[in-house]
Amino acid sequence: MNAASLTERTFSAVLWNYAGGFARAIAQLGVQVVLARLLGPHVYGQFTIVLAVVGLGWFIAESGMGVALVQVRELTNEVIRQALGGMLMQGALVAVVLIIAAPYLAALFDEPGLTGPLMACSALVLLQSMSNISSSLLRRQFDMKRLQFIQVAAYAVGFGGVGITLAALGAGVWSLVGAFATQSLITWLAAYRLVRHPLRPLFRMSADLRSYGMKVLGSTLASWMADNLERVVVGRVWGVAALGAYSGAFGLARAPATLLTYSVQSMSLPIASRLQDDPERLRRAYCIVAGGLALVLLPVFSLFAVAAQPLVLLLYGERWNEAVPLLAACAVAMPFYVLAANTGTFLWATGAAGREAISQSVLAAILIAGFVLLGSWPLSTAIWIVPAVHILRAAATYLMLSRRIELPHGRTLRAMFGGIVLGLVIVFGWEISAWVPKDLGPSTVAVLRLTFVGGLAMLAVLASRGALIGPELRSVIRGRIPANRAGQFAQRVLGI
């Protein structure tokens, strides 16, 4: 693939990634609000435990094969069969272990009703592993349009249809398990219909494929520990209801963060893999992605942090009042979570997945130790260890990558400068919007303050005349704006 073709396909992939991400963000917000009001914090805490177990089982069963299929220079049917065989063997082993361990895991949280849902995880692990082959092949081909359509449709049917229906019927945690199973099944069937790959597994694997997969597995397991082990501790120390409040707050903050992470990783991995022998283009690609992320992440999550109370009460209701301080801390953590994940993808592509795994393992251990040590404190105070650890993780992964590709820190700061400024504008705007009369009612006050902050941020963008957009990102945008009246107007407004 030549440079022009790669650029064209990459830009198209980015557009579809963000279009799909936006659609899923809207769908997830609406569905999550309905489910949270129907189910309450306790059921959310139960499902958090189920999801943590499913995630761990899937990572072990998948063992980095999806990333390997995207990253490998020469993809053959034999490589696909090897990846499939490895996932089936490991998935079967994981399924047996989950069935045996389910009663003990349920007893660990004093939740006997979780035994059945945890046993169902065994089937979900195998289902997710199968769907990952076709989805990874679509990502390798930059076919983000159809992949995003599949994922949005699967979520809408699974959680928006099956999940809400079962929750309204009183199915409790099974409503979310059924929704997740439906989503996974639809994703697998639809992706395989588009990318027909060999289904006959090969139960032997080349040394290179296994070695790369193990490095990615180490990194993803460390990431899982950083993201989930603290939830295990929260559930054990503060109870399943507190875990539900934590998960609801984390889910509200993480919904846009997860979509950004996935959409960017889906695009960054194939790009960085093809540019791994061209350091300057790799540095430029990283600055473009990091700059774009900063422009989105820092303003959005600054708003989440300062406006946590009205957001929780407007969306979830009074039952979720405990989640307010938790949302503020999670919102501070999310920009660093996404930036670390993006940087980690570039490390994977340059063959340094093993180093990232070590750093993530250390930081995950710090997070777990911190929650254990702070177990006697209120959760609203102990939660602030989460952003502290994510900041450390983002710094560690960035320093590893900057040394590996010789990226000057000043260049990265210039790329992200606009996002930092907009984040500060959001915080300032929220503070000065306190002039809105309180007697108008909480909902009206919240809407007026959010509108004022949004208008102030827009004025800052227009007044900057393009200065808030990093130089690498500005050149990409300038080259892609169409030469028509709308494009000329956009150029004048953005100052590029």
Residue 193, pLDDT score: 87
Residue 259, pLDDT score: 67
Residue 345, pLDDT score: 80
Amino acid 467 reads A
Spell out, as residue ranges, where the chain has pLDDT lower than 50.
none
Residue 326, pLDDT score: 92
Tens of pLDDT, residues 366-402: 888 888 888 889 989 999 998 998 898 899 889 988 9
Residue 487, pLDDT score: 63
CA atoms within 13 A on the CB side of 121: 33
Residue 352, pLDDT score: 65
Task: Please measure the distance between the N-terminal and C-terminal CA atoms of the chain and give it in whole angstroms.
Answer: 30
Residue 223, pLDDT score: 67
Residue 157, pLDDT score: 93
Residue 325, pLDDT score: 92
Residue 430, pLDDT score: 92
Whether the CB-CB separation of 141 and 274 falls below 8 Å is answered with no
- The residue behind tokens 């393009």 is 466
CA 160 distance to own-chain centroid? 20
